[in-house]
Amino acid sequence: MNRCFLGLLLFMGPALALAAEPPKTSAKLPRTPIACDLMLLAPAPPGVGETDSTVVGDIDGDGKPELITNAMYCKTPGLYAYKPGADPTQPWKKQLIQTGLHLEGTAAGDLEGKGPMDLVCGPYWFSPPAAGPFSGQAWRQHKFAPGFRDWCRAAVIDVNGDRRLDIVLAEDEYPDGHLSWFENRVGVDVQHPWLEHPIESRLIFAHTLQAWRNAKTQAVSVLVAGYHNRTHSEIFEAPDNPTSPWTRRVLADIPYGEEMVACDLDGDGKPEIVAAEHDPFKPYQSRCRLFVYKLADPKGTAWFRYMLDDRFEQHCGAKAVEIAPRKFGILGHGWMESRYVHLWRPD
């Protein structure tokens, strides 16, 4: 186990089994509030609303990441890519991917296997023009999930191991959301370029979707968590044949859990789950808890829970970030105290 993370666990006291209350302790992890100079990437046209689905990826292949984000809840919804210039404090180059569709659930990956990065947003995917992703020319729009509504969470991963990236998609703003993976047959089967394989059909406001492949077992897992009170967070595990029914394991009840993330914080090859409560209203906004869940048995049927903090709402989600090689911190961002990004680090 990574010594930094071991130190973090010892600092927080004994582990508790799933469903137990967090330890009563006055000890707090070191937290660094980072005051953000919010930078306007580009002037927004009138009527543009909130962004709700952002991904970072190198979509033009120059080795540097770009930012892809959507505009929602407005008269002119859309999806845009932004590219910084030599001076990132100057306005970034802006490329329209689509406008007119209210979509959320953004992911990036080379779905055609031809090099240039493609984008997924909701039940659509978008391929760049031949002139280049930032050429100003229109991106091509394709629909891969005709049975899905427009508000989703998406992940791009090779589920069946055929070296073609597939798409995992969850409907995220509905009390009866579907979760499926879509087998990539683009360029192989013109009539049916995407084959849907349903996984679940009763997700409740699934604001978290993350998929990963276990480096040792090669098994694919998908983390899904609901946004509203008393909803479950669940991990779906693919069987050897991922077109067969998947195993579903309930991780925990997270009151108001938003944007959970799986990350191998201690380097043992198995992901931990970072979960932050996010109720932004008084008096709860100063009582929300930040948890790390760690597997307590090899089969994934029980988890230890560690509370890292209980003072801040994290409405905009918590993320694990590599702050040094193989050393992870946790970033959290609230809604009411949005001027600050919080960083927890294990030393």
Interacting residue ranges for Ca ion, rule: CB under 5 A:
58, 60, 62, 64, 110, 112, 114, 116, 118, 158, 160, 162, 164, 166, 264, 266, 268, 270
Output 53 or 95, the one with its CB closest to Ca ion: 95
CB of 285 to Ca ion, least distance (A): 30
CB of 309 to Ca ion, least distance (A): 20
CB of 256 to Ca ion, least distance (A): 25
CB of 9 to Ca ion, least distance (A): 11
Output 23 or 116, the one with its CB closest to Ca ion: 116
CB of 153 to Ca ion, least distance (A): 19
CB of 58 to Ca ion, least distance (A): 4
Output 48 or 119, the one with its CB closest to Ca ion: 119
Output 68 or 290, the one with its CB closest to Ca ion: 68
Output 74 or 137, the one with its CB closest to Ca ion: 137
Output 52 or 118, the one with its CB closest to Ca ion: 118
238-250 CB burial, b ≥16 within 10 A, e <16: beeebeeebeebe
CB of 83 to Ca ion, least distance (A): 7
Output 144 or 227, the one with its CB closest to Ca ion: 144
